[in-house]
Amino acid sequence: MNDVQRDRIQRKLETLPDERIYQVLDYIEFLESRYAARSPVSAGIFQRFAEGVEDTMRAGRVSAVTIGETMNYLSKAMGVLSGAVAAGKSVANDVVTAATRPPAPGRPPGAASPTPPGTPFGTSEPPPQSTQTGETPL
């Protein structure tokens, strides 16, 4: 599908009420099952879950407005979960990188890096010095 077709279909869909959008979706899925030239792109786990919830609600004759609102909330939740998964992967990559990095020369494996005197644990900066008025700068 080219961009012009995609934009044209999108414009047409935006004019329809939710009930008709589901009819269009049903028709597209019917056409796909009959005439698809290639297999559809596999959806991610969160997307498959959301589609399953949506299909279950439709089968239960829930109103299109209620389904739409539910799917909006579910979409927001999926965004949060995707962010959490990405953060977890990043942390895991950092742990693997730190674990596979060779130790610095002259330091035995597993030894912590020295912290300069007067610095809080885990920071490399000394505590802020107070000013003449006795206030600590931010």
pLDDT exceeds 90 at position 10: yes
- The rounded distance, in Å, linking the Cα atoms of 15 and 9 is 10
CB-count burial class (<10 Å; 0-12, 13-18, 19+) for 21? middle
pLDDT exceeds 90 at position 8: yes
pLDDT value at residue 58: 85
- The rounded distance, in Å, linking the Cα atoms of 68 and 54 is 9
pLDDT exceeds 70 at position 99: yes
Which of 43, 41, 46 lies closest to 75 in space, CA to CA?
46
* Total-model pTM: 0.49
